[in-house]
Amino acid sequence: MSREAHVRFCEGLRVKIPRSTRLHQKTVDLFRFIREHADRFSVTKMCQVLKVSRSGYYQWIKYSKSTRKIEDMNLIQKINTICHNSRRTYGSPRIHQTLLREGYHMSKKRVERLMRETGIHAMAKKKYRATTDSKHSLPVAENHLNRNLV
C-alpha cells in the first residue's frame, strides 16, 4: 500500500458528509480506505501507517450506519427530486408540505436542516426592472420614414 494509492483513492471520493458528523473528512476517507483494503492488509498495520486509531476505526464500522442517517439519506434524495421537479422554486415550507402529502412524516425543521447541510435552496425570482427611460430631455431622432406608429 503506497501513499500514492491512498491519495488517488481520496481524490476519487466526492461524497458530501454533513457537518453534524464529528469526524473530519480526512479521517472518514482513511477509514473507507482501510475498509476497502482490509482483505489484503492487516487493519492494525494500516491504522499505524495512516496514523489513525484502531479503536476509532472499529467504532466507525460499528456505528456508521444508524437508521436515522439512512432515513436522512433517503429524505435528501426525495428533497432533491422535489426541488428539481419544481425548477428550484420550492423552499423548505413547500417541500415539507409536499413530503407530508406523499406520506413522509417529519418536522419542518428537519427538512430545513437537511436542505442546509446539502446546500439545497430555492432560487429567488428576479424582480422586474424597467430598462427604458422615456422621461428624459434628450433629443429624439427624426422620423425620416414618416411612419405613424400608433
- Give the distance between the most distant pair of CA atoms in the chain: 92
Domain residue ranges in the chain: 3-63, 67-118
Cα distances (angstroms) measured from residue 60 to each of 45, 106, 122: 17, 27, 34
Q: Which residues of 39-58 are buried (b: 16+ CB within 10 A; e: fewer)?
A: eeeeeeebbeebebeeeebe
Task: Quote the cell numbers at residue 52.
Answer: 489513525
pLDDT tens per residue across span 76-106: 999 999 999 999 999 999 999 999 999 999 9
The whole-model pTM stands at: 0.53
pLDDT greater than 90 at residue 69: no
